[in-house]
Amino acid sequence: MLPRIIKYGLKRIIILFITVVIAVYITIWIANIGGYVDEIVKSDILLQVSQSVRQNPAYRGLNETQITKIINEIYENELKKIGFDKPFIYRSLIYLKDAITLSLGRALFLSSDSGSKSVRIIILERLPNTVLLFTTTQLILFFIGLFFGLFLSRRYGSFLDRLSVLLAPLSSLPGWFYGIFLILIFASFLRLLPYGGMVDAPPPADKLAYALSVLKHMTLPVLSWLIAYSFINVYVRRTFFLMFSSEDYVEFAKAKGLPDSIIQRRYILRPTLPPIITDFSLTLIGSWMGAIITERVFNWPGVGSLFYMASVMFDTPVLVGLVVIYAYLLAATVFVLEFVYAILDPRIRAGVT
């Protein structure tokens, strides 16, 4: 049994690894538009260099040859600095190696908030902020959905049930949309909460005060997402549990006269655990990527805005770094989940379809 599991596990790891490598390499090509980004970046650099040389009083009065020489030298240096003196194919393999080994390399244009060019530091500085805001929000949303979904599934047709169904369409609008209204009401009109940012300016020197200030700044973004996504989450879970509640074995348990708590725990929750855990895991991983527009609306320095900046500036190493971390996390989650399923649900076994 054990060797079979190890063999299966190894096989899965190899397949997942190959998938990650292919996905990352495709990302590298997409992020560089098949190498066309080189042309764009070179044009930008040439223009910037020639402009800066022209506007720098230190270069005034040099003759054409000297100016051209200086422009060319600076231009070549700039290209060399970002590795553009080598062909794209070669660079793409370097990017891939950095990504797969998780060394992640150095950013082309972006710096971390503290001034580092290391992609790893750039991402790691933003990740805690994103985890703090979005993972918290996703966890709250997940548990609201789970508990209220289960609760309402047992009270199908009640006032609360109908109310949740009625409010579910609120999710047709994204969280940042409610965010704008919340800023207008609580920041601009009532002046109770901040317009955005992560902490008061100046930041409180005391750690507790700092934490409280961060909490205050989290309030509106969290609230905006709760308004937008709580009801649909509850609605989806409630429907999901309703479907399982009407299974024959649940009806049978009811007929046997088992108490509600046992029916919920053993007959409804247990068989629904694999999809719930999958959903939970993927939601957690997804939350680490942040949310571009919400971060911009609330001026929250997270991974989402980093992703946006890296895309706009064609900073391939940063983009690839973000993607590879996500890819590895996803692959690891998929790998672990396969075993978790097997533990949770006896019907699922390796090799059995």
Partner 1 sequence: MRVLAAVLLTLLFMGMLLWEMPISYAQVPKGPWVDEVIFSVETDEAKTIDMLLKNEIQVYFRDIGDPKLFEKIKASPDLWYVTSYGLYFELTFNPVGPEFPATGKLNPFSVPRIREAMNYLVDRKYICDEIMAGMAVPKYTVLTPAFPDYARYADVIKGIEKEYSYNFDKAREIITEEMIKLGAELKEGKWYYKGEPVTIIFIIRVEDQRRMIGDYVASQLEKIGFTVDRQYKTSREASPIWLRGNPADGKWHVYTGGWIVTAVSRDDADTFGYFYTPRGAGGPLWSAYKPSPEFDYVAGRLWTRDYKTIEERDELMRKALKLSMEDSVRVWLVSQTAPWPARKEVSLTYDLAAGFSGARLWPYTIRYIDKVGGTVKIVSTDLLVDPINPVGGSNWVYDAMFYRALSDPAVIPDPFTGLYWPQRVKRAEVYVEKGLPVGVTLDWVSLKFVDEITVPRDAWYDWDPVKQEIIYAPPGTKAKTKTVVYYDDNLFNIKFHDGSKLSLADIVFAYILTFDRAKPESPVYDESYIPAFEAFREYFRGFKIVSTSPLVIEYYSDQLYLDAEWIAWAAASAFYPEYSYGPAPWHMVAIGWLAEADKKLAFSADKAENLKVEWMSYVAGPSIPILAERLEKAIKERFIPYRNVLGKYVSEAEALERYSNLKKWYDAKGHFLIGNGPFYLDRVDPTARIVVLKANREFIDPADKWLRFSKPMVPEVKITAAPTIVPGLPANITISVTFEGKPYSRADMSYIKYIITSPTVTLTGAAEAVEDGKWVIRLKPEETALLAAGAVSIDIIAVSKLVGMPVSASGTAIVMSETEYILSELARAKADYEVKISDLKTSLERRVSEINTKVNELAGALGAITTAMWVGIAALVISIIAIILTVLRRK
Selected binder of partner 1 within 4, 81, 86, 270 (CB under 8 A): 81
Pick from 60, 172, 207, 346 the residue near partner 1 by CB under 8 A.
60
Two structure tokens written together for 304 = 């989402």
- Regarding 195 and contact with partner 1 (CB under 8 A), the answer is yes
Does 59 bind partner 1 (CB under 8 A)? Our answer is yes
- Least distance CB 175 / partner 1 (angstroms): 16
Q: Which of the ranges 50-58, 230-238, 272-280, 338-346 carries the binding residues for partner 1, by CB under 8 A?
A: 50-58
**5, 30, 66, 86: which one binds partner 1 (CB under 8 A):** 66
Q: Which of residues 120-149 bind partner 1 (CB under 8 A)?
A: 121, 125, 129
Nearer to partner 1, 66 or 158 (CB): 66
CA distance 210 to 199: 7
Q: Which of helix, strand or coil describes residue 111?
A: coil
In 10 A of CB 33, how many CB atoms?
12
119 vs 104: CA distance, rounded Å: 6
Q: Which long-range contacts (CB under 8 A, 24 or more apart) does 270-275 make?
A: 270/344, 271/244, 271/247, 271/345, 272/240, 272/241, 272/244, 273/344, 273/345, 274/337, 274/340, 274/341, 274/344, 274/345, 274/348, 275/240
Q: Judged by CB under 8 A, which stretch of 19-27, 190-198, 318-326, 343-351 contacts partner 1?
A: 190-198
**Position 246 contacts partner 1 (CB under 8 A):** no
Nearest alpha carbon to residue 38 among 98, 81, 84, 93: 84
Where does this chain bind partner 1 (CB under 8 A)?
36, 39-40, 42-44, 46-47, 50-51, 54-55, 57-64, 66-74, 77-78, 80-83, 106, 111-118, 121, 125, 129, 183, 188, 191, 195-199, 201-203, 296-297, 299, 301, 314
